[in-house]
Every structure is written in structure tokens, then in C-alpha cells.
Copies of this chain bind each other. A is one copy, B any other.
């Protein structure tokens, strides 16, 4: 009943045009993926493989600022160099998801165009290679308004339900639960980050023993609709 999170080690550097499933296959083969495992992949390598990068032109800070304004659906807050923006996917995050860490020199990494599609593609290819249907989560590192520090969350999902809906479930006393919607895909992304780290060069992890609901979920389900949003 324990949950085991295996880091995928010795994954090579990723370049534009690479196939992520192929890149991850040797590391997965070492672990031996099993029915019920969930694969978490940091979006960085997905974006690189898909060419979701931009070459920096001119002054870096200025370029970044203009790029955020170009790609963001809306700017949510601005203070000094900090810009909180809504991406075209609906994610609210710093810099509209643009990041320079682990980018090739002279470039910035954007979010994948459609992280659910990216997850689906990896899942399909790995099913072909291993004969096992592994749900896939594409993760990114987001901040939170009232809490310091960042945590990894799910921006793309394939093969599992990102929210575990416990509606109708009873607590120990037979009472309906107050809290019913658990963002399990975000919790899986956070759990995976604990073995990936930011500097360790480990871009993916395999989670074994997760018994939450499988199904046809999308990362977009984790985005709160604007009309429910009290903080924009």
C-alpha cells in the first residue's frame, strides 16, 4: 500500500524535435514500468522537444517582458519585475510560464502549446513500447499568493482524473465530507518534484502504488473558471 516514487536517472539532454517517450525509454526500462504506475514529466523537456522556446534578442529583461505581454492572455498583477499573468491555457502564474532555468544559452522556455496533448502523445508512444498504459502528468513549478516557496503542479494530464471527487463519501462518523475535490494530479506532481529537484538534472519520475481514479481527464480541469475566481 506504500507509494513509491522513482526518479528517472541518466536522461540525456533534450533538443528540439526529440521524441520525449524515446528519450525517457532507457530510464523507464531500468525501473520496469508496471500497470498502475503514473509518469510525471517536467514540462521543461517537453517544451524543448516541441520547440516551445524563444531565442533572446536584445536586452534580456526587456525581451522577457515583451514576450510575456505577447503570449499572456491577461496580466493579473505587476510589481517591479514580477509579473503574474494568465496564460492562453488559463494558468495564472509568474511570467506567463516563461523560464530561463535549464534553457539552452540565449533562449527562454515557454509552456508547451497544449500540455494535455503532449501528455497524451507520450502515453501513446510508451504504451506501444512497453505494452503498459501509463497515465502521464506534465508538471510545472508555480507560486502561490499567500504562501512562500513554490510547488510543482500538473499542467497537462492524460489517462487519469486530475481531481478526485469524493462527493457522497462519508467520514469516520458517517458524515458527508466538507472537502470533496482533491487535486490529486497536483499532489502527484509535487510528490514527483521531491525526487526530481531543480538542479539535479532529473526531468521525470515514475509513481508506483497510486490507486486514484483513471480516466479521460485534462489538465484544464484544474483551472478554476474565472466566474468562480475571487482573487483576480
User: Residues of A at under 8 Å CB distance from B?
Assistant: 1-7, 9, 13, 77, 79, 82, 84, 91-92, 99-105, 141, 144-153, 162-164, 166, 169-173, 175-184, 186-188, 190-191, 193-195, 198-199, 201, 209-210, 212, 221-224, 229-232
Contact = CB atoms under 8 A, between A and B. Distances in A.
A26 B222 CA distance: 38
Given A147-B186, A179-B150, A173 B223 contact: no
Copies in the complex: 2
A140 to B, nearest CB: 10
B195 A194 contact: no
Nearest to A173: B105
A117 B144 CA distance: 25
Contacts of A162: 149
A128 to B, nearest CB: 26
